Amino acid sequence: MMCPICRQGETHPGTTTVTLERGELTFVAKDVPAMVCANCGEEYLDSATTEQVLRMAEEAAASGVQVDIRAFRAA
């Protein structure tokens, strides 16, 4: 797919680190599958991956931790 940000690069499969902050929680998911632009480096997650990362963050928030760093594991 053509990158919608730079409009010059093609995206290719890769991984990224996702960092989310809400209130006192900082949640980090590493090695998340993504499509990465070869030109500008912008990263895109598909909807299923996004949902899984958000579920992981919700679990961390519910447990009351302030910082949670996890390796992404596909469901």
1.10.8, 3.10.20, 1.25.40, 3.30.70: which CATH number matches 11-71?
3.10.20
Query: 18: closest CA among 36, 30, 26, 34?
Result: 30
The tens digit of pLDDT for each residue in 28-42 reads: 999 999 999 999 999
User: In angstroms, rounded to a whole number, what is the distance separating the alpha carbons of residues 30 and 71?
Assistant: 5
Query: 72: closest CA among 22, 21, 16?
Result: 16
Question: Average pLDDT of 10-34?
Answer: 96
pTM of the model: 0.88
DSSP classification of residue 8: S
